[in-house]
Structure 1
Amino acid sequence: MSETTQGGMVKHAGASEGVSPDAALARLRALETLESGYEAWLELQVEHAASRLRFREERERLEQQGSFLLGAVRAAGLTPSSGAEPALVTPPAAPGDFLRDAEDKLTQARDALARRETESEAKHAEAFAEIRATLKDRVQRYLSASRPSLTLLLRRVGTERAILHLERVSGDTPVLLCFLFAARIPSRYGFLLDDATEDVSLPPAPLYADAGVAADEVRPDAVGLESRVRGAGEVVPLKGFLPVFVSRPSGGEDFFRLLQRGVVLEVEVADGTAFRNVLSREESERFAGHLLRLKLEGRIGLDIEVG
C-alpha cells in the first residue's frame, strides 16, 4: 500500500528505516564461545546486506517518483482549454510553484534517506569492529589457556622424498591454528572442513568471497594465494586449508598449506604457481622442525608418527 502526501510525493507504507545490528551483538555478548561469535558475525552480515538493499530500493523509488512527477507536470500543461470563456475558467495553479514544491519535498526525502543510510553504515561498522575484536580476544584467551594438539604422520616416498599428513582437526581448533600460524582470524568458523564447490568440475576454491575478495578472485594460483594471505588485514577468508610459513636456512620463507583431504590434512608446498604434496627430505624435515619448535615453545601439542 502507499499514500500520497501533500505536494504529490508518494510514501510507501513498507519503506524501511534500516535494520539494527543490536540483535547480532546481543548474541555475541550472551555466549562466550567462538562458534556463537561467528554466528553473530554471520547474522550481522546478513542484516547489513538486507539494509543496503532496502536503502538502494528506496533511492530508486525516489528517483522514479521524481521522474514521474516531472513528466506529469509537463503532460498536464496546466493551461485553460482553447475556446473556453475566461470568466468561467478557474485560474490554474502556477506550474512552476507545483513543480518547485514537489522538487523540494523530493530533495528533503533524499536528504533524510542519506542521513539514515550514513547512520546505519556507521552503526554496522562499529558492530563489525566489536565482533572482530571480540573474536580475536577470545582466540588469544583460548590459546593461552590450552594448546591445540596435532599429530604429524610421515609417509616415505623412496629415500629422499616424503608425504606429510596431519590428523584432521575440528571444532575451535582450526580457528585457533589459523591465528597461531597466520596471526589472523578466518572469516568463517567452519572454513577448514568446507569442501563445497560452485562447479563440480573444479576442486573447492581456496578462498571465500569475503573480506574484500571478489567472487571472481576466489581461485588464485599459489603465488596469488600467498600474496592474499600475507596481505590480509585482521581477517583472512581461507577455505579448506591452513597456511603455514616456514623459514628457509638461506633466508625468507616457504609457503606451506595444510589442505583438507578427507580424514587428514595433507601438507603441500608452493612451487612456482602451483602446490605439490611430495616434499623433499629437506622440506619435510624443515616443516616438522617448525611444528616441533612450536611445541617446545608451549604453543601446540605434537605427536609424530613415522609410517
Structure 2
Amino acid sequence: MLPARNTETPWGGMTSGPESALGQLRALETLESTYEAWAELKRDHAAAVVHFKEEQARLAQQGTFLLGAVRAAGMDSGGTSGPGLQPQGAANDFLRDAESKLAKARDAVLQREAESEARYQAAFTEVRATLLDRVRRSLGSLQPHLTLLLRRVGAERSILHVARVQPDESVLLCYLLTERVPSRYGFLFDDSTEDLALAPAPLYPEESVPEDGVRPDARGLLAVIEASTEVLPLKGFVPLRVPRPGGGEDFFRLLQRGAVMEVEIADGPDFRSILTREEAERFAGHLLRLKLEGRIGLDIEAG
C-alpha cells in the first residue's frame, strides 16, 4: 500500500488560510491597502480551492491504483500458488482495510475543505464590509475633483473630456456615481488586453462575470451594472446614468484614454464620443448638480 499522507497538516504550498490577508486589512486603513488585502485573500482562496481538488484527485487515484493491485493479486492467487502470493481472502481483507482508510481520509479532506471555505467566505464578507465603510468615510472628508474639458466639433457637436483623476479618487468616484465599489484598486488605469488585436475588455472575469463575458455591448454592460449590488468588475471606465428631461436616463461612461477620460454615451449596442449639444450640456449639467450638492469638486474649461 502507498504510504498515507498526513491529512492533518497542509499540503506543500498550501496557504495557512485568510489570516494573513485579514492581518493586512486591519493593520492599515487606506483604500489601497484594503484592496491589496482583498487581492491577497483572492489569491489565497484560489490556491486553497486548487489544493483541495488536488487532494481529492490524489485520493481517488490512490483508491483506483489499490483496487487494480488487489485485483491483480487475486487473479494471480486464483492460479498456481507460489512464494510471496497472497491468498484471495487476505487480498480482500487488505482491500477492505485500504478502502476504509481512504474513506476516512476523504471525509477528513471534505471536512477541512468545508471549514476552509467557511473561513474564507467570512473573510470576504469582512473585507467587503470594511472597504465599503472606508469608501463612505472617505467621501465624508474627500470630494473627487473633476475638470471637464469641452472640445467643439462643428457648431452643434462636441467631445467632452474629464482630466485624469488619482487612484483613490477613481474608487470614490465610482461609488459616488453607482453606489458600488470597483473590484480592483487600479481598475480605471488598466489598459491590458489578452488579445492585441482587440481593445481592452471593459470587465474583469470576476464577480459572476465569466471568462467569455468580459466584452458585452453597451446594453449588456448596463445589465451587468444593474445586476450588481455592492461590487462592479469594471475595467478602464466609470459608468453613470444621466436623467433625460422627458423621463428615463441615458447611460454614459468615462472611458480612460491616457491623460483624460473621454465621455461616451450608449447609442444602441455601441458607445459614441461625439455628443450632440443637448447631450453635452445635459452631462455637464449633471456634474454641476453634483457639485452644487457638495458631492464633487468641478471645474469646466472650454477648449
- Matched letter for residue 253 of structure 2: R
Match of 1:145 in 2: 141
Matches within 5 A, 1:66-81: 66-77=63-74, 79=77
Deviations 1:55-90 (A, max 9, x none): 111100000010011111110017376377xxxx99
Cα distance change, pair 132–90 in 1 and its aligned pair in 2 (3 A): closer
1:26 aligns with 2:19: no
State whether residues 19 and 48 of structure 1, in contact with CA within 8 Å, keep that contact through their aligned partners in structure 2: no
Match of 2:230 in 1: 234
Query: Distance in 2 between the 1:132 and 1:114 partners?
Result: 27
State the TM-score, normalizing by the size of structure 2.
0.93
The root-mean-square deviation of aligned C-alpha atoms, in Å, is: 2.2
Q: Cα offset for 1:96?
A: 2.8
| Among candidates 225, 242, 247, match of residue 243 of structure 2 | 247
Matches within 5 A, 1:1-307: 4-5=3-4, 15=11, 19-77=16-74, 79=77, 82=80, 93-307=89-303
Query: Distance in 1 between the 2:258 and 2:223 partners?
Result: 27
1:207 match: secondary structure:
coil
Deviations 1:35-61 (A, max 9, x none): 000000010111011111111111000
1:139 match: secondary structure:
helix
1:259 match: secondary structure:
strand
Query: Distance in 1 between the 2:230 and 2:49 partners?
Result: 24
Query: Distance in 2 between the 1:282 and 1:274 partners?
Result: 19
Query: Distance in 1 between the 2:286 and 2:241 partners?
Result: 9
Runs (5+) with no aligned partner, structure 2: none
Q: Cα offset for 1:171?
A: 2.4
Query: Distance in 1 between the 2:81 and 2:69 partners?
Result: 24
Query: Distance in 2 between the 1:173 and 1:58 partners?
Result: 44
State whether residues 187 and 236 of structure 2, in contact with CA within 8 Å, keep that contact through their aligned partners in structure 1: yes
State the aligned residue count: 299
State whether residues 18 and 54 of structure 1, in contact with CA within 8 Å, keep that contact through their aligned partners in structure 2: no
1:152 match: secondary structure:
strand
1:111 match: secondary structure:
helix
Q: Cα offset for 1:3?
A: 6.3
Deviations 1:227-269 (A, max 9, x none): 1111112110000000011011121111000000111110000
State whether residues 70 and 92 of structure 2, in contact with CA within 8 Å, keep that contact through their aligned partners in structure 1: no
- Matched letter for residue 143 of structure 1: L
Cα distance change, pair 121–14 in 1 and its aligned pair in 2 (3 A): closer
Query: Distance in 1 between the 2:218 and 2:116 partners?
Result: 38
- Matched letter for residue 3 of structure 2: T
Query: Distance in 2 between the 1:251 and 1:288 partners?
Result: 18
| Paired-residue identity, % | 61
Query: Distance in 2 between the 1:83 and 1:222 partners?
Result: 76
Cα distance change, pair 139–11 in 1 and its aligned pair in 2 (3 A): closer
Q: Cα offset for 1:175?
A: 0.2
Q: Cα offset for 1:177?
A: 0.4
Q: Cα offset for 1:19?
A: 3.3
State whether residues 77 and 86 of structure 2, in contact with CA within 8 Å, keep that contact through their aligned partners in structure 1: no
